[in-house]
Amino acid sequence: MTVVPVRASRSYEVLIGEGLLDELGTRVRAVSRARTAVVIAGENVFPLYGERAEASLEAAGFRVLHHVVPTGEQAKSLAVYGELLHDLSENRLTRSDVLIALGGGVTGDLTGFAAATYQRGIGFVQVPTTLLAAVDSSVGGKTAVNLDTGKNQVGCFYQPLLVLCDPETLKTLPEEEYRCGSAEVIKYGVLGNAAFFEQLRQKPISEQVEQVIRTCVEMKRDVVAEDEFDRGRRQLLNLGHSFGHAVEACSGFTVLHGQAVAIGMAMITRAAAAKGICSAETCDALLDILRAYGLPTQTDYPLEALLRAVYTDKKLDGETMHLIVPEAIGRCRIMPVPIGEIGEWMKLGGAR
C-alpha cells in the first residue's frame, strides 16, 4: 500500500493499494467517530461495489445507509443535490456522521459539496472508482455542482477526511472511461514531469496503474500544499480545461470530461505552437500520445458556440481568462489573455 499525505486546511492521507475497498470500514473508523455512514454512489457503480463497501462499514460498527444518484453530469445538478440533502436530513444525519463518495469525479464533486454545506459541514471520504477520479478529482478539495449556464458554477473548497483508492475497482471501467482518465494522467506529464510523459509513451497506463496514480497524486499534493484555494500555481492544473469545458457545454455533456480535456489540451498546444510559445515538436508529441491513448484532438463545434460557452466559465477574471499554455513537455505557463483575444487562440487551436 502507498500512503501519500496531503497538507491543506484539513490534512489527510491518500491510500493507494489493491484490496483497500474491503478495509474501508476500519480506515474510515480511524479518522471518524461517526455513528452513521452514508454511501453515495452512481447507478452504475453501486451494483458493482456498494455491497462490499457497506459490509466493510457495518463490520466496523457503522450504521450504514446509501443514496444512489444518476450516472453522468446530470447528477451534478441543484435538483439532485437537493434530493441528497433532503435524504440526509430525513435520516437525521448529524455533523459528526460521515459521507462516503463511492464512484467517479461526478459523485465525488456532488458528495463533497453536500458534505461542505449540510449543517455547515460534515466529514466525507473519497473512494474513487475511475482512473480520472483516482489521479485528479478526488484529491485537493474542489467540490461543486453545475448550473444550466455552466459547469461547476456552485461549489467550494472542502477537504475530505481520507481518500481510499483501490486500483482493483478500475478493472470494471468501460474502455471509454479509462481513456478519459488517461487524459488527466497525460496532463500531469505535460505540466511538470517530462520523464513521466516519456514513461507514458513507452508503457501503457494499465500496466503501471498504481505507480501512475501515486505520481499524479504526489504532483497534485505539492500544488495543493502551495496554493489550496486556486489563486496562483494551482491554476496550472486547468491545462486543457478552459477550452475543454466549452466543448463539454456545447455537447450537452455528451462529450465526456476526459475527452474534452484532451481536445482542450490539443487546442491550446496548437495555438501555443502557432504563436511560437512552444515548438512544433512539442505539439506533435502531445497529439501523438493523445491519439495513442484513443483520445480526440479536435472538435467540430463552431467557434461562436465555443466562445459563448467560454464567456460563462468560472475561470474568467473580469475581462481576462488565465490560459494554461505549454512551453515544452514538462513546463507550462499561466497567461492572462483578454477575453477579446480568446477567439484568436481558439482559431489557432483548430476551431472554425
Per-residue pLDDT tens for 162-201?
999 999 999 999 999 999 999 999 999 999 999 999 999 9
Q: What is the torsional sign of CA 286, 290, 291, 297?
A: negative
Under CATH, domain 175-348 is a member of which superfamily?
Dehydroquinate synthase-like - alpha domain (1.20.1090.10)
HSE value, Cβ hemisphere, 13 Å, CA-based, for 15: 23
Instruction: Encode pLDDT of 241-282 as tens digits.
Output: 999 999 999 999 999 999 999 999 999 999 999 999 999 999
Instruction: Encode pLDDT of 86-114 as tens digits.
Output: 999 999 999 999 999 999 999 999 999 99
How many angstroms separate the CA atoms of 276 and 168, rounded? 43
How many angstroms separate the CA atoms of 153 and 309, rounded? 13
Instruction: Encode pLDDT of 35-59 as tens digits.
Output: 999 999 999 999 999 999 999 999 9
Give residue 314's pLDDT: 65
How many angstroms separate the CA atoms of 25 and 125, rounded? 11
* Axis crossing angle, helix 175-192 with helix 280-292, rounded to the nearest 10: 160
How many angstroms separate the CA atoms of 10 and 125, rounded? 13
* Delimiting residues of CATH 3.40.50.1970 domain(s) in the chain: 2-172
In the chain, what percentage of residues exceed pLDDT 90?
Answer: 96
Instruction: Encode pLDDT of 281-336 as tens digits.
Output: 999 999 999 999 999 999 999 999 999 998 877 667 778 999 999 999 999 999 99
Q: Which candidate, 56, 230, 51, 54, places its Cα nearest to that of 155?
A: 230
Q: Which candidate, 302, 228, 307, 256, places its Cα nearest to that of 104?
A: 256
* Delimiting residues of CATH 1.20.1090.10 domain(s) in the chain: 175-348
The CATH code of the domain at 2-172 is: 3.40.50.1970
For 67-132, give the secondary structure using H, E and C.
EEECCCHHHCCHHHHHHHHHHHHHCCCCCCCEEEEEECHHHHHHHHHHHHHHHHCCEEEEEECCHH
- DSSP conformational letter for 294: T
Give residue 293's pLDDT: 98
Structural contact between residues 136 and 220, judged by C-beta atoms closer than 8 angstroms: yes
HSE value, Cβ hemisphere, 13 Å, CA-based, for 86: 6
Give residue 311's pLDDT: 84
Q: Is the full-model pTM beyond 0.75?
A: yes
